[in-house]
């Protein structure tokens, strides 16, 4: 096996044409085998096999520096840079992360997971090289889908005026996670159709030289192209046309489902997602009803429509009441503000980790204008994605401190629906709803009015009050049960709002409570509980703020995270008891 | 006078060609008169006089909706939509804001002040129009400088695939605030030089139709062009070539100095900036020394280089060690991260209000990668810009809750220099420094080590400890003086770090203090003081968190803001005394 003998890019350079093609076959089979057993990003990695081999054949990494956008397509790169065992030996599958990781290898320069950042990061490396008077090639590899993100444009535009070596490989597989959206994709199609000759050339309009490679899965054609641009002294785009999912028929067919996959049957492509209830299912059902009952309702998404269960059939059914703006979160928020101002009822949804792109748009475009758009912040909390680059634990601090924005945290599906009912139909001020990972149900009536910050006291006890925000409400109930075993009948409160304090209710607790404990599924610093601690700062009330310590956790399991941060019901009850003394 | 008879756009439509040209002259003189007496955005408004008249002549506002980017060029629009008195009558100058403002007029659709947002906001209006089955024109007016912002690109790209009426007027005056930066500006120049015929057409590459108007200050030529695109059924860019500062010779000459101006001599253009010390002067002097002494130091800016005192001579002197990326804050942060990774010593500076654009880049591109870039967050605090859209009071909550980022707050110039010395030369982790508005000096030695969160106890007292962050340190000293009058010798602490707590020092206060009061020049929610309140939550220490209430303040003077938020030294001392009882 060739792959076992590749310990570094030096070994790739020694191969003849025939062996290079064999290596591509071996890399592809190893990818399919690991992906089917382990899950991961399927389509992009299969499409990038040949380009990765060609890059390492032509350029001299790590002296020449390759920066992968999102870096979810860097598996072949990892195999060729000393990490093949993590793809060949099942017991070592978890020795590497799913993204580039400087701790793993000198061939990886950044930890990357969000889109559209590679050009700016790589331009920084190129500029540092020039300041230091060194010579080398700097290459940014970016997929067509990532080009719709504003940060990628800003990077391209700035790079376009440099007179220096800077190579951007555009990996055009004609897809984002779902289909591409944006006028740019029309002109990329024109470039493909004319083999790069179309006059509508986005890259040239930003000052880049341009080279087109139709056979983006032909390692020899790619080598020829990369040799042409090696050591170039001005910015150049190499636009390569690849096939997403190449070599795995069902992934080539169903590109969206195999962008990222859980383990699957390597023969049939069957993915066993189970039959449990998911927030995607809940949200798509609910939103589709809203769409049908009101032609002014419009659901906006930015390239991860599966997050709200909007797959191809739902998107088709929603018609023009569903807008996928592509990877363009900033635009999505401003668009929602404009829609709300224009009298429509926009609902923009993205994951907690991606809402981070939009602080200024939330503040300026939406909240300062007080337009009644609704936001759904999905996959929020520490019990979901846990790669450092995809943590969903910072949104409470981010969103709960913006004026005019109510940040609602439902404790269950039923309450989420009540909140959405209120948010979507009102015509005053923006509202965001934090959608957790776990699907919980609760019986009872849920308030239909969220016009002002008000908490719900679900159980009146004394001495101790437990305020459990959103999906940590049930954890609060579990803490109450622990305390009850020890003879303390605690008050249980559902605060509903992360963005403010219910002065009246909190004041009332002073009469017969000594300890208040707040629970939130996210980083505590800057978040919800700190508002409560501040409220009681000038009183005798003891306040325990329970949430995660501010940190970039790297693939730490939820149970361990809770244990480390003293967030298990038992630990919390213990800390409350100590405070009671 | 014609202008006095213009009560709405209807009145503009009644004018003949000759009167339209006279109207332009009157609008321009009124602008010059008001601007010279009152200050404001000079260049962009003078350049947009004819285009604004032509827009209101051709389109039917407010049914047709015009959205101005940044909206700092909307003065002529205000004059033509019923607000001329605010430009003609000195006693009414402050009846209008310097930006579009929906509270003022039905012709203004959004409160806007940051750049690059108009296209997305206007596309929202256009989409709402289509969902409701209405017919009208939607026009976004955007300057060439704003095109470098990622949000504008995202908006253009998304709009490019709509089959509907959507008109973008690109006001190309060949300038950003300073000169433009980016490859795009090369192709805009090509378009101007070829009267719109160049093949390198950024707008066409994003799916837009395109029309060029060379005489962007000729009201009749503009009317002809706008008539051509009125009621068009697909997205179109009208690229108009205007002259920034048109009609005011020194503003035409010195475009950067007259982008925005304080009141000036209408004959000579003399601007009396006074001779007081400014942070711009301090920073430019300091940074230039660093640049000269170390070829790896590189100062990065995003289109407001005056903020660090880098005017044309300084920029020239710094050579390639100064990079203006244009309006592209996201890129700037990622570029800084790449530069730091590559071994350079990048210092990125922007105003507090604009750092809001970069939360995700700070978190992902910079801090998760722990690259040692330095950030200077200028004009921070409530005592500077006070338009709602330019508030500089949210950065503490934004930046102090990102892992790995030390957010340092100097109490004076000398301490800021000590902090910069440490930050720029270290090779571990990113560091941000909050630069206030007021320039203060203090004597004494300032620590050269900021490797871990540690506060400085400058005066040891008892009962009360005052923790004054950054430029509010001196306010803390004033509070201590107030308390001393009443027999309380308070402890005074300079916390230096907004981003964490000094556990040891805070623990030590428990021995002989009953009240801790924190002071910060920004919104308190999510900020510094709440960390202190949380730290003491489970103790008997009383904590008063003093900062601004979370709110979009609109042109509220600093003294009034302090008074409203009980932030005067007297009020603070009074509250402390009450808490002591």
Average pLDDT score over residue span B282-302: 97
Structure tokens at A581: 């003394």
Assess contact for B434 and B562: CB atoms under 8 A: no
Buried b (16+ CB within 10 A) or exposed e, A286-303: bbbebbeeeebbbbbbbb
- The share of chain A scoring above pLDDT 90, in percent, equals 96
Q: Concatenated DSSP letters for B377-444?
A: EEEESTTS--SGGG---SHHHHHTTSTT-EEE--SSHHHHHHHHHHHHH--SS-EEEEEESS-----S
Cβ contacts of A393 within 8 Å, gap of 6 or more: A352, A381, A382, A521, A522, A523, A548, A553
Q: Does A396 touch chain B (CB under 8 A)?
A: no
Characterize B72-86 residue by residue with b for buried, 16 or more Cβ atoms within 10 angstroms of its Cβ, and e for exposed. bbbbbbbbbbbbbeb
Residues of chain B with pLDDT > 90, as a percent, come to: 96
What was the ipTM of the complex prediction?
0.97
On whether the CB atoms of residues A265 and A240 are closer than 8 A, the answer is no
Rounded CA gap, B111 and B118, in Å?
Answer: 11
Q: Say whether B149 and A151 touch across the interface (CB within 8 A).
A: no
Q: Does position B146 have pLDDT exceeding 90, yes or no? A: yes
List of chain B residues whose C-beta atoms are within 8 Å of the C-beta of residue A526: 397, 400-401, 526-527, 530
What's the pLDDT band for A49 if we cut at 50, 70, 90? Answer: very high
Classified as helix, coil or strand, A271 is strand
**Residue A139: its H or E element:** strand A138-143
Closest-CA residue of A relative to B132 is: A296
Distances (CA, A) of A331 to A143, A297, A361, B123, B528: 20, 18, 8, 10, 31
Model pLDDT for residues A175-222, shown as the tens digit of each residue: 877 788 889 999 999 999 999 999 999 999 999 999 999 999 999 999
Interface with B, mutate which of A210, A398, A526 (most B CBs under 10 A): A526
Q: Which residues, listed in sequence order, are joined to residue B241 by a DSSP beta bridge?
A: B172
**Mutating which of A183, A336, A357, A565 best tests the B interface, going by the most B Cβ atoms within 10 A?**
A183
Cβ contacts from A onto B, under 8 A? 405
Q: Are A450 and A422 in contact (CB under 8 A)?
A: yes
Chain B CB contacts of A323 below 8 Å? 127
pLDDT of residue B503: 98
For B356, the closest of A111, A132, A359 (CB atoms) is A359
pLDDT number for residue B178:
77
**What is the model's pTM?**
0.97
The answer on pLDDT for A112 being more than 90 is yes
Of A182 and B329, the structure prediction assigns the larger pLDDT to B329
Q: Please compute Rg for chain B using Cα positions.
A: 26
Q: Please give the Cα distance from B110 to A335 (Å, whole number).
A: 12
- Chain B's closest residue to A204, CA to CA, is B200
SS3 for B155-184 is: HHHHHCCCCCCCEEEEEECCCCCCCCCCHH
Is the CB of A537 less than 8 angstroms away from the CB of B551?
A: no
Q: Give residue A308's pLDDT.
A: 94
The two tokens of residue B530 are: 């709440």
pLDDT in tens, A270-320: 999 888 899 999 999 999 999 999 999 999 999 988 889 999 999 999 999
* B455 φ, ψ (degrees, to nearest 5): -95, 160
Query: B485 vs chain A: nearest CA distance in angstroms?
Result: 23
pLDDT digits (tens, 9 = 90+) for B413-432: 999 999 999 999 998 899 99
**pLDDT band at B3, cuts 50/70/90?**
very high
Reported as a single tens digit per residue, the pLDDT across A511-556 is 999 999 999 999 999 999 999 999 999 999 999 999 999 999 999 9
> Cα separation of A561 and A576, whole Å?
19
Q: What is the DSSP letter of A264?
A: B
Within the 100-129 window of chain A, which residues sit less than 8 Å (CB to CB) from chain B?
A: 102, 109-114, 117, 120-129
Q: Does A514 touch chain B (CB under 8 A)?
A: no
Shortest distance, CA A486 to any CA of chain B (angstroms): 20
> In the prediction, which pLDDT does A493 show?
98
Query: Is there a contact between A341 and B112 if contact means CB atoms under 8 Å apart?
Result: no
- Mean of the per-residue pLDDT values for chain A? 96
Contacts of A457 (CB under 8 A, 6+ apart): A491, A492, A493, A505
Chain A CB contacts of B361 below 8 Å: 117, 151
Q: Which residues pair with B452 in a beta bridge?
A: none
Comparing A34-43, A240-249, B158-167, B174-183, which segment has the lowest mean pLDDT?
B174-183
pLDDT digits (tens, 9 = 90+) for B269-284: 999 988 889 999 999 9
8 Å CB contact of A526 and B526:
yes
pLDDT tens profile A376-391: 999 999 999 999 999 9
At residue B113, the pLDDT reads: 97
- CB proximity A376 to B under 8 Å: no
Q: Which of A113, A182, A388 sits opposite B160 (nearest CB)?
A: A182
Percent of chain B beyond pLDDT 70? 100
Nearest-CA distance from B200 to chain A in Å? Answer: 5
**B179 Cβ neighbours under 8 A, 6+ residues apart:** B256, B324
DSSP string spanning B302-368? SS-GGGGT--HHHHHHHGGGEEE--S-HHHHHHHHHHHHHTT-EEEEEEEHHHHGGGHHIIIIIIIT
Residues in chain A, how many? 581
Of B239, B187, B172, the closest CA to residue B208 belongs to B239
pLDDT band at B307 (very low <50, low <70, confident <90, very high): confident
The whole-number average pLDDT for the span B140-164 is 97
Q: Which of A505, A24, A4 is nearest to A243 (CA)?
A: A24
Chain B residues closer than 8 Å to A122 by CB: 338
pLDDT in tens, B21-66: 999 999 999 999 999 999 999 999 999 999 999 999 999 999 999 9
B338 closest CB neighbour out of A122, A359, A365: A122
Rounded CA Rg of chain A: 26
Shortest Cα distance from B136 to chain A (angstroms)? Answer: 12
Beta bridge partners of A433: A376, A408
Q: Is B579 an interface residue toward A (CB < 8 Å)?
A: yes
Least Cα distance to B152 among B241, B237, B85 occurs for B237
Per the structure block, which two tokens stand in for A96? 């590497």
pLDDT grade, residue B177 (50/70/90)? confident
Q: What percentage of residues in chain A have a pLDDT greater than 70?
A: 100
> Residue A435 and residue A453: Cα distance in Å, rounded?
19
At A581 the pLDDT is 79
Q: Which one-letter DSSP state was computed for residue B257?
A: T
User: Which residues partner with B463 through β-bridges?
Assistant: B513
Instruction: Write out residues 423-482 of A within 8 Å (CB-CB) of B.
Output: none
Residue B176 has what pLDDT? 78
* Half-sphere exposure (Cβ direction) of B339: Cα atoms closer than 13 Å: 28
Q: Residue B391's beta-bridge partner residues?
A: none
Q: At what angle do helices A413-425 and A279-293 cross, to 10 degrees?
A: 30
pLDDT at residue B196 tops 90: yes
CA–CA separation, B225 and B209 (whole Å) = 13
**Contact indicator for A44, A258 with CB cutoff of 8 Å:** no
For B446-488, how does the pLDDT look when each residue is reduced to its tens digit (9 = 90+)?
Answer: 999 999 999 999 999 999 999 999 999 999 999 999 999 999 9
Closest of A343, A301, A78 to residue A179, by C-alpha: A301
Average pLDDT for B211-220: 98
Please provide the DSSP assignment of A463-518 as one string: EEEEEE-GGGHHHHHHHHHHHHHTT---EEEE--BSS---HHHHHHHTTTEEEEEE
| Three-point CA angle A87, A88, A89, nearest 5° | 105
């Amino acid at each position: 096996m060739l792959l076992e003998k590749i310990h570094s890019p030096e070994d790739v350079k020694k191969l003849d044409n025939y062996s290079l093609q064999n290596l591509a076959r071996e890399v592809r089979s190893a990818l399919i085998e690991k992906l089917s057993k382990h899950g991961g990003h399927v389509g992009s990695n299969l499409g990038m096999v040949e380009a990765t081999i060609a890059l390492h054949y032509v350029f001299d990494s790590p002296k020449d520096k390759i920066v992968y956008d999102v870096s979810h397509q860097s598996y072949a790169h990892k195999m060729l840079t000393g990490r093949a065992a993590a793809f060949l030996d099942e017991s070592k599958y978890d020795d590497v992360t799913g993204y580039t990781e400087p701790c793993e290898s000198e061939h990886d320069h950044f930890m990357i997971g969000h889109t559209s950042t590679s050009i700016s990061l790589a331009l920084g490396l190129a500029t540092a090289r020039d300041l230091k008077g060194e010579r080398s090639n700097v290459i940014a590899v970016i997929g067509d889908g990532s080009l719709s993100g504003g940060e990628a444009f800003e990077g391209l535009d700035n790079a376009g005026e440099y007179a220096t070596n800077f190579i951007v490989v555009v990996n055009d597989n004609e897809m984002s996670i779902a289909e591409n959206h944006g006028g740019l994709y029309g002109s990329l199609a024109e470039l493909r159709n004319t083999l790069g000759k179309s006059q509508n050339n986005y890259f040239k309009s930003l000052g880049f030289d341009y080279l087109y490679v139709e056979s983006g899965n032909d390692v020899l054609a790619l080598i020829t192209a990369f040799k042409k641009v090696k050591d170039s002294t001005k910015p150049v785009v190499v636009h390569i046309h690849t096939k997403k999912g190449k070599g795995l028929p069902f992934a080539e067919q169903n590109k969206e489902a195999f962008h990222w996959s859980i383990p699957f049957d390597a023969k049939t492509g069957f993915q066993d997602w189970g039959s449990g209830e998911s927030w995607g299912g809940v949200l798509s059902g609910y939103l589709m009803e809203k769409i049908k009952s009101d032609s002014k309702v419009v659901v906006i998404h930015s390239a991860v429509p599966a997050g709200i269960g909007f797959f191809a059939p739902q998107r088709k059914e929603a018609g023009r009441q569903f807008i996928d703006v592509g990877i363009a979160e900033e635009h999505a928020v401003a668009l929602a503000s404009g829609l709300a101002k224009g009298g429509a009822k926009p609902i923009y949804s993205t994951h907690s980790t991606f809402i981070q792109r939009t602080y200024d748009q939330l503040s300026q475009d939406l909240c300062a204008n007080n337009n009644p758009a609704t936001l759904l912040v999905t996959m929020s909390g520490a019990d979901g994605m846990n790669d450092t680059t995809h943590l969903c634990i910072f949104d409470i601090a981010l969103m709960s401190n913006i004026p005019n924005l109510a940040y609602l945290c439902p404790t269950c599906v039923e309450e989420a629906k009540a909140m959405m009912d209120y948010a979507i139909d009102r015509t005053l001020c923006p509202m965001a709803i934090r959608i957790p990972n776990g699907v919980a149900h609760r019986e009872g009536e849920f308030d239909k009015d969220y016009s002002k910050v008000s908490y719900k006291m679900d159980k009146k006890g004394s001495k101790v009050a437990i305020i459990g925000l959103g999906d940590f409400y049930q954890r609060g109930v579990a803490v109450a049960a622990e305390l009850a075993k020890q003879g303390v009948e605690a008050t249980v409160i559902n605060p509903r709002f992360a963005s403010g304090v219910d002065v009246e209710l909190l004041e009332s607790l002073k009469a017969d409570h000594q300890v208040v404990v707040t629970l939130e599924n996210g980083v505590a610093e800057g978040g919800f509980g700190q508002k409560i601690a501040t409220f009681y700062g000038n009183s005798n009330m003891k306040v325990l703020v329970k949430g995660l310590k501010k940190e970039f956790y790297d693939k730490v399991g939820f149970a361990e995270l809770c244990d480390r941060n003293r967030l298990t019901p038992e630990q919390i009850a213990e800390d409350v008891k100590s405070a009671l003394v």
